[in-house]
Amino acid sequence: MNLEEYAVELSDVKDSDLKKVGMLVRQQLVLENRVADLEAELKRTTKELNEISGELLPAALSEHGMTELKMHDGSIVTVATVISASISKERQPDAHDWLREHGHGDLIKNTVSMTFGRGEDDKADAIMRELNAKGYDPDQKEAVHAGTLKAFVKEQLNEGREIPSELFGIYIGQKTTIKKGK
């Protein structure tokens, strides 16, 4: 369609149709702004909630020697220890070396165009060597699943074993949960 045909087609559009289009454009812009505002508010509210449930309320209960509190409405507030861990890209080689040196290399998953499970490092290395010998240059990825790492860290700490907290990005904190009364 050339420009003249397009201009003729637009001249056939009724004013009321254009008003409807304009109204819909304005509505979309209003809603886009509202979504952005709500997302920002959600971010602020989540931060505030995390501060209260992860710092202020556990500290306030701890000041009174409490780990649980029953409210008048039947709600029960409990404080629990939370443990998280993560291996950053920068620390990954050292963390994997530490795991292997301390007999936990089977936590590392090794992927070479296919996924190898725990304790299958030798198989992955053999396939890599075989593929390299045949002239292929495959990608190899090693990683410890986040859930596996968290469970491992909890187990080690509960058994009183030392584990390098910086290497594994270990965070130990308190968090409150509230079970609402009936």
Q: What is the pLDDT of residues 76-93, one digit of tens each?
A: 999 999 999 999 999 999
Distance CA 77, CA 61 (A): 10
Task: Give Cβ neighbours of residue 42 (< 8 Å, ≥ 6 apart).
Answer: none
Pairwise pLDDT comparison (16 vs 107), residue with the higher score: 107
φ, ψ for residue 66, nearest 5 deg? -110, 145
pTM of the model: 0.60
Q: What amino acid occupies position 140? A: Q
Q: Dihedral of the CA atoms 108, 114, 117, 120 (nearest 10)?
A: -80
Task: Give Cβ neighbours of residue 22 (< 8 Å, ≥ 6 apart).
Answer: none
Domain ranges across the chain: 3-66, 77-179
> Among 10-19, 26-35, 164-173, whose mean pLDDT is lowest?
10-19
